[in-house]
Amino acid sequence: MAANQRTLVTGVIGSDTHIVGNRILSMALEKSGYKVVSLGALTPAGDFVKAAIETAADAILVSSLYGQGELDCRGFRDLCVEAGLDHILLYVGGNLIVGKHPWPAVEKIFLDMGFDRAAPPGTRVETVIEWLHEDFATRDRDLRRALD
């Protein structure tokens, strides 16, 4: 495990103080074997990218609960690309926009922004762990195929 242990960066983006879910998520990810770099609440977008570079992270998990994620997350994928993190796995989750809306519409906004997955309100950590497992497995497979 230790050898190819994956590194994840977590944090709550923008001016958002909702730390509880993010902290529980980070604890659970650590427990399930990941190296977690936990940036905490109120984290500017740039800090996520900086931390990902410094730790050669495999994925960034952005939390946004307070509704202004729609503003805070615009251009996040571009920031990553500019920093050379072209293929880093990007997840976002929480109460992503202001108000109660049908999930597919909200999901689309964030997938269009370049996130690989978006998690609806109330998503449980088990789901996130499954997603990571699947997505990393797919990437490994693709990588092996590319090498074949």
Partner 1 sequence: MNAPAAPDAATRLPLSEAPIPDEVFQNMRRANLARWPTGAEVDIDAAVERHKALPRHKQLAWVMREADRQRRCLTQPRGGCGTFNMHRDLMVTLDREGLADVVPTTTDSYTRNEQWQLAQHGIEESEKAGRSLLNGYPMVNYGVAKASQLVDAIDKPAIMLTGTAMPMLTGEIGYAGGYSGYLGSGIAYTTSYIKELTIEEGIRNYQYLDRLAALYQARGVELHRRQPGFLTGTNVPPSIAIVTCVLDCLLAAAQGVRNYGLEMGETLHLIQDAAAVAACRELCQDYLAKKGHRDVFTPVTLLHWMGAWPHDDAQSAAMIAYGGTLAAIAGANSVTTKSTHEAYGIPTPQANAEGLRMTRTAIYLARNIRLDGLPEYEREKALIGREVRPIVDKVLEMGDGDVAVGTVRAFEAGVLDVPWSPNRGVASRVLPARDADGYLRIVDPGRMPFPGDVMAVHEERLRKRAERENIPYGPDLAVSSVYEMSEPIAKLMSDRWAV
Minimum distance from residue 143 beta carbon to ligand B12 (Å): 23
Q: Quick one: which of 70, 107, 116, 135 contacts partner 1 (CB under 8 A)?
A: 70
Is 133 an active-site residue? no
42 binds partner 1 (CB under 8 A): yes
CA distances for 65 relative to 8, 117, 136, angstroms: 19, 16, 25
Please, which residue, 55 or 144, has the CB nearer to ligand B12?
Answer: 55
Q: d(Cα 145, Cα 148) in Å, to the nearest integer? A: 5
Question: DSSP state, 4?
Answer: T
Q: Which of residues 20-79 bind ligand B12 (CB under 6 A)?
A: 20-22, 24-25, 61-63, 65-67
Q: How far is CA 39 from CA 42, 48, 78, 104, 146, in A?
A: 9, 8, 20, 28, 34
Q: How many CB atoms lie within 10 A of CB 69?
A: 29
Catalytic residue check, 16: yes
**Residues contributing to the site for partner 1 (CB under 8 A):** 12, 14-17, 19-21, 23-24, 27, 40-42, 66-68, 70-71, 95, 97-101, 121-122
> Residues with catalytic annotation?
16, 18
